[in-house]
Amino acid sequence: MAPALLGSTLRHGDVAVRLVEVEAYEGATDAASHAARGRTARNEVMFGPPGHLYVYLAYGMHYACNLVCRPEGTAAGVLLRAGEVVEGLEVARRRRGRAVDRDLARGPGRLCQALAIGAEHKGIYVLGGGPVTLTLGTPPPTEVARGPRVGVSVEVDRPWRFWLPGDPYVSDYRRSPRARR
DNA sequence: ACAAGGATTCACT
DNA sequence: GTGAATCCTTGTA
């Protein structure tokens, strides 16, 4: 699901973002996942039915969102890491302060800020009928790059970050500070 | 009850 | 490249 999501559009009101970078997270078999140690109050959305948004607060300041992609009972999510604002440029600029256009949604926290996605969107269904909607890209991407996930301190060799190669809206890769030596 | 640390971003050097 | 901001979740006692 993760590479297939590249090129899709996430919309909230006037602002729409074309996704160019995502990461996959599993459940019990993936130590880097919030769901690695079983169901908790925070990660319960990941165990729910697919098509819902798992939103969480990172580092006490930034929101990030995942699309739940597995059947109910099996935890999994695809973290939406970066994209290009393709509609609602003026609104997105206002929300993102002094950022240049390229950085409006370049990074998971920035993407949520540009789209005004926050705690109130935790668990909402995004495949139709709601305020936030995901439209799958057609056709699916023909070329997809993959590599290690950003910011995780375990499972550093699992190549579950996917992006559109060469796309300027892909975020900078940064190795986990904890994985650094 | 407490301590640790994070699926990040930004300003500054 | 470095460091700070900031608060919630989780493991452990």
DSSP per residue, A48-93 = S-TTBEEEEEETTTEEEEEEE-S-TTS--EEEEEEEEEEE-HHHHH
Split at pLDDT 50, 70, 90, the class of A172 is confident
Give the residue with minimal CA–C1' separation from B5. A59
Minimal CA–CA distance to A49: which of A104, A124, A100?
A124
Q: Per-residue pLDDT tens for A63-114?
A: 999 999 999 999 999 999 999 999 999 999 999 999 999 999 999 999 999 9
pLDDT of residue A174: 63
Greater confidence, A12 or A180? Answer: A12
Per-residue pLDDT, averaged over A140-156, amounts to 93
The torsion angles phi and psi of A9, rounded to 5 degrees, stand at -120, 130
Q: How confident is the model at residue A175 (pLDDT cuts 50, 70, 90)?
A: low
**Residue-level pLDDT at A73:** 96
Q: In angstroms, how far is B3 C1' from A90 CA?
A: 43
**Whether A41 CB is under 7 Å from strand C:** yes
